[in-house]
Structure 1
Amino acid sequence: MDTYLDNGSAYEDILSGIQECDPRGAVCCTDETVFSLAKVVLVKEKIPGITLQLVDEQGYAIRQVSSKKPSQDRPSDSHLSTRQTAVIRALEKVMSHCRKEGIQLIGYSDELVAMPVVVRPDDVSPAVALDVETHGVYRGADSLINTDSDQA
Structure 2
Amino acid sequence: MDIILDNDASYEQVVEALKRCGAEEAVCCRTEALFGLAKSALVREKIAGVTIQLLDADGYAIRQVTSRRRDENASQGDALNDRQVAVVKALEKVLAYCRKEGVQLVGYSDELVALPAHVKPEDIATASARDIDTRGVYRGAEALMFDPGSDLCKVLG
TM-score by length of 2: 0.46
| Higher Rg | 2
